[in-house]
Amino acid sequence: MLPLGLAFGALVVRSGLDYALSFPLHRVRGRLAKTYSTFALTDEAYALTAGEQARGWSSPRILWLQFYLHLYWAGSATAGALLGSLVLTVRPLPAPHPAGTDASPRDVRAV
């Protein structure tokens, strides 16, 4: 299982490297802006900025796009974690039944 995980990880790193090398970083001005732009690079940001239509986009437009996409990613992950924690709060998992019994807590028969 470990070699498969390493191979998959290498593919993910490779795709990130391809994105970073072909991303239009030359259009982003400033050292700090370039650092953030590289950090916030996502599939969506790459797809939107690498196309023919985006060749004339300014540095602030690219950075704002990446900022909003970064905010969207972080906000979605946070909302998912918070909502996911509510699932177990609202409806807890049933307690495991004692060993040797086949009855499930939901298996109630009317007499």
pTM comes to: 0.61
User: pLDDT at residue 59 above 80?
Assistant: yes
User: b/e for 42-67, b at 16 or more Cβ within 10 A?
Assistant: eeebbebbeeeeeeebeeeebbebbe
Residue 83 sits at φ, ψ, to 5 deg, of -65, -35
Q: What is the pLDDT of residues 3-33, one digit of tens each?
A: 777 776 776 666 666 666 677 788 889 999 9
Whole-angstrom Cα Rg for the chain: 24
- pLDDT per residue over 32-42, tens digit each? 999 898 888 88
